[in-house]
Amino acid sequence: MIRLYGFQQSRSFRALWALEESGLEYEYTRVKLRTDAEVPDSAKNPKYLAVNAQGKVPTLVDGELKLTESVAILYYIARSAPESGLLPNASMDVYARIDELACFVLAELEQPLWSQGKHMFALPEERRIPQMFETAKFEFAKALNALDHLLDEGEYAIGDAFSLVDILLAQTFNWAMRFEFDLPRKYIDLRNRHYSRPACRRALEIM
């Protein structure tokens, strides 16, 4: 059975959400970040480091397979449950667009948000540089402008059905709202629409 290790509203959530969408059987294990190694469920504990040497989340374990990158986890879940539609049965050009958008979310859209997050709470206090917040907002605005040219104009990111790209976008926009970035109304609506899905609501309760 699949086991997912995660922590609250981190990238773990997108994996948990995908599992709820997929219908696959799984077990979820909460991991504590920024705690001492002696704490049994700490990400720094040797038992967890044996699963994920970086001491980060998420981690998916399925038999001998271990995955520690959230997008790779989403793809694995989607391919393990093709009936879920998280990866549609589509042409090569549609697959290429899904890959492009998934890469774009991580490399461009999420990057300034996580940069700000690191300098707000994740890095040791002496390593934080609050002056970079305005740069992060500038980069996020540029990414949003590019995104406008990448998405379809319908209810979903690509085509007429929900996919793993919609999970990535909705969680990223949720971060943007939490960090008080400027976000166009249409992307707030996208976040709200997808966060109302039953699978998402179940994942939020589990998290």
CATH number for position 58? 3.40.30.10
The DSSP line for 153-202 is SSSSSSTTS--HHHHHHHHHHHHHHHTT----HHHHHHHHHHHTSHHHHH
> Are 137 and 189 within one domain?
yes
The encoded tokens of residue 173 equal 């926009």
Query: Is residue 61 included in any domain, yes or no?
Result: yes
Enclosing domain of residue 100: 92-197
pTM as predicted: 0.95
Each of the 207 residues of the chain gets a pLDDT tens digit; together they read 999 999 988 999 999 999 999 999 999 999 998 888 888 889 899 999 999 999 999 999 999 999 999 999 999 999 999 999 999 988 999 999 999 999 999 999 999 999 998 898 888 999 999 999 999 999 999 999 999 999 988 899 998 999 999 999 999 999 999 999 999 999 999 999 999 999 999 999 998
Which tokens go with 13?
A: 């959530």
Tell me how many domains the chain contains. 2
